Structures are given as structure tokens and as C-alpha cells.
Structure 1
Amino acid sequence: MDYKELAAVLIGLQDADLELRGQLIQIGKLGEGYNEEMASLHRQNAEILDGIIDKIGYPTVGKVGEEANKAAWLVIQHAIGQPHFMRKCSKLLEEALHENQADIVNLAYLTDRIAVFENKPQLYGTQFDWDQNGQLSPNYFDDLGKVNQRRNSLGLNSLEEQTELIRNQAKTENQSPPQDFELRKIEIEKWKKSVGWVE
């Protein structure tokens, strides 16, 4: 199998993911916990990508092209039930970055997502969730000034601007906050333990 075929596979994984997400938005079920069908698709996509990585290493732009490289990142970013896989890909993405074969913004998003699942502060403020006031807000981060400095160094907007964008997107997608914030927090922590993010 050549890299062009693998590129097409990666783009197909991304398209399936985005299509299911769109369906869940339409029926108003995107924010209601981790949808089982979506969890299953994310797991399956991660397995396929892991097999590709075993064959060719990290699917860099040089190997599979820009579109398929972005698709691979999306699959990794959504493989939230596979901590080992996400951590492995984070290291591979870092190595690819040192060879100028990856996008530093993708690494920032992945680093933050892993930090959030490990209950650590995020560095770039890329990850959001519902707060107790029913608003989408950045997950726990270390210091607003430092976060904005890091975001600026990557060419990203300020965290305040990003928060406004994320909240507007949620309105556009008719996303609504959980009915029971405290229960959702408990369920998320239980899920993190069940898949191995925390002990």
C-alpha cells in the first residue's frame, strides 16, 4: 500500500468522524456525555491510525500530504478513550515537529487535551468545557498572562477572544449545558479512571 492510499484512508477516518459529529449536533446530542456510537468510532479510527503509524511512522505532511496529516491529528485528538495511544502520538508529533514535519499548534492542542484528562493545568487554553454557570469556559490553566503569551507565540488569538468564539460556536450548534453540573463532573472523573487517564 502506498502513501497515497494511506492518505485517502486517513481522510476517510476524519470524514466519518465529522459526519457523525454533524448528526449528533442536528439531534441535539453532542454535549450529552460521551456518545457511545462516537466513542466506538473514535476507538476504531485510533486502531486504524495506530496500524498506519506502525507501518510508516507518524503520517507527516511529507509522507501523506497536508490534508491527510490534519486528518491524522483529528483522529488522535478525538481518541480520548485511549490514553496510551494519545501519549504515544504526542511524543511522535513532538519528534516530527523537530524535523519541521508537523504543526506546532496541533501539538499545543494535543498537549492541552492530555493535560486536562490528567487533571493538570493546560498551557495554551485550547480545551473548553461547561462551567457551573452554564457557560463554555477554558479548562483549568496555570496563569492567564502566561497562557496568552504562549498563544501569541504560536500565532493564536487571546484566550478571551477564543472564549467568545467557542461560546458563539456552541450557540450556532445549539449546544446546551448539562442539566446537572456536579453529576457531570463526577461522571467525567469516573470515566477518566475507567479508561486509565487517572488512578
Structure 2
Amino acid sequence: MDYKSIAKKIIDLKNADLVLRDKLVKSGQLSEGYNEEMKELHNINAKTLNDIIDTIGYPTIDKVGKEANEATWLVIQHSIGQPVFMKKCAELLESAVSENKADPKYLAYLTDRIAVFEDKPQLYGTQFDWDEYGNLSPNLFDHVTKVNERRKAIGLNTLEEQTEIIRKQVKNENQSPPTDFEKRKKEIEEWKKTVGWIK
């Protein structure tokens, strides 16, 4: 198996994603709902990665190296219109983490993202969204003390520190909250039903 060329392919998927994100940030389109071009790219990337996973199993550090392993997680994390694929990957990633072949931080981010889409509280507080006051805040989580304990156990900073970092980042990127918070909230709920995250 030519893991080297597979690793390159995965890194290329990640780079295409980041280039498009950068373009959307610069044009001020990132906060305006789920961009069509981005949605299309995320779905194509997910399909390509799914084919790779079906061929070699989860792209662990020992197979594809650290950079492609991280790129794998980013592609999965962004494949938000593919609930079945994301959940399949979460299981595979859990096994990889238990065998020390992937970073537990990636699993934390992925399980939190799935929880948010399924309207469940997140365990690590890694997922953020605009609140009604126009600030980026963590999505629903179970309990701040427990969240911070879990974060510390896998080498993450506190939720309070992370909130500060995230808010600074969006300010630097000139991102602004949605003009109609309630409308956006409704659109997200509709989208979650359409793609199959919730009934």
C-alpha cells in the first residue's frame, strides 16, 4: 500500500478546504449561513476520504504520518452534511485514540460536534456559535467544572480561556454575527433535519 501518496491526497483535501475558507473570510461570506461552494467541497472531500478509509482503515499516525492524520480529522470535522460518515469516523477515531495512534483532542472535537448537531450537550466545550447577544459562545455543554476537567485531561486550556481566544480570532477575521439571529437559528434547525442529524 502506497501510504505516502495517500497521505498527500488527504493533505490536499485539507488544503483545498483551508484555501476556500480563507477566501470566504476575506470576502466576508463565512458568517452568512452554509456557503454552497463550501458545502459542495465538504461533501466531495468526505466522499474521497470515505473511499480512502474503506481501503486502508482509519488514516492513523503510523500509516500516514502526523500531518495527514490531522488533515483527516479536519476533513471529517467539516463533513457536517454527512452524519453517517461522521459517526462512522468517530467510532474509528475512538479505536485509534485508544491504541495511541491518533490525538485524543481530535476525538473531543468530533464527539462535541456530533453532540451539537444532535442537540445534546457537549463534553469538552469545543464547539462555538453566535449567541443572541452577538458573541461567539460555547454551544450547550453539561457542566463547566466537568468540562474543564475533561479538557485538562487531554491537554486543552480552560473553556474560559478558549472562549477568549475564539472571540479574538473572529474579531481579527472581521467576522460578524448574523443579522437575524432567530432566522439563522431556524435555518440551522431545518438544515439539521434535512441532512438527518435530528428527526
Sort the TM-score into its range (normalised by shorter chain): over 0.9
CA-CA distance at 1:97 after TM superposition: 1.2
Local SS of the residue matching 1:134:
coil
Distance in 2 between the 1:190 and 1:124 partners? 25
Following superposition, the deviation at residue 154 of structure 1 comes to 1.1
* TM-score in terms of structure 2 length: 0.99
Q: Equivalent residue for 1:93?
A: 93
Give the C-alpha shift of residue 87 in structure 1.
Answer: 0.1
**Aligned equivalent of 1:23:** 23
Deviation, structure 1 residue 121: 0.1
Q: Deviations over 1:131-154 (max 9, x none)?
A: 000000000001111111111111
Distance 1:82 1:114 in 2: 11
Q: Please give the secondary structure, in 2, of the residue aligned with 1:137.
A: strand
Letter in 1 for 2:109: Y
The equivalent of 1:136 in structure 2 is 136
Q: Structure 1 regions of 5+ residues with no counterpart?
A: none
Q: Deviations over 1:31-76 (max 9, x none)?
A: 1100000000000000000000010000000000111110110000
Q: Distance in 2 between matches of 1:163 and 1:97?
A: 26
- Amino acid aligned to 1:115: A
Q: How far, CA to CA, are the matches of 2:67 and 2:148 in structure 1?
A: 28
- What amino acid is aligned across from residue 139 of structure 1 in structure 2? N
Secondary structure of the equivalent of 1:120?
A: coil
Aligned match of 2:64: 64
1:2 & 1:36 partners in 2: Cα distance?
Answer: 34
Q: Structure 2 regions of 5+ residues with no counterpart?
A: none
CA distance in 2, matches of 1:54, 1:125: 31
2:54 equivalent in structure 1: 54
**How many angstroms does 1:86 deviate by?**
0.1
Match for 2:128: what amino acid?
Answer: F
In structure 1, what residue type is equivalent to 2:45?
N
SS of the residue 2:137 aligns to: strand
Q: Match of 1:61, as an amino acid?
A: I
Name the residue aligned to 2:181. Answer: 181
Separation of aligned partners in 1, 2:179 and 2:100: 45
| CA shift digits 1:165-189 (9 cap, x unpaired) | 0000000001000001011110000
Look up the match of 2:112.
Answer: 112
The answer to whether residue 35 in structure 2 is matched with residue 3 in structure 1 is no
Give distance in 1, aligned partners of 2:10 and 2:31. 26
SS at match of 1:92: helix
Instruction: Within 5 Å, give how 1:148-187 maps onto structure 2.
Output: 148-187=148-187
Q: Distance in 1 between matches of 2:124 and 2:158?
A: 10
Runs of 4+ in structure 1 displaced over 3 angstroms? Answer: none
CA distance in 2, matches of 1:109, 1:10: 19
Deviation at 1:156, TM superposition (A): 0.8
After TM superposition, give the deviation of residue 8 of structure 1 in Å: 0.5
TM-score, length-scaled by structure 1: 0.99
Q: Which residue of 1 aligns with 2:198?
A: 198
- 1:98 is displaced (CA, Å) by 1.6
Aligned residue pairs: how many?
199
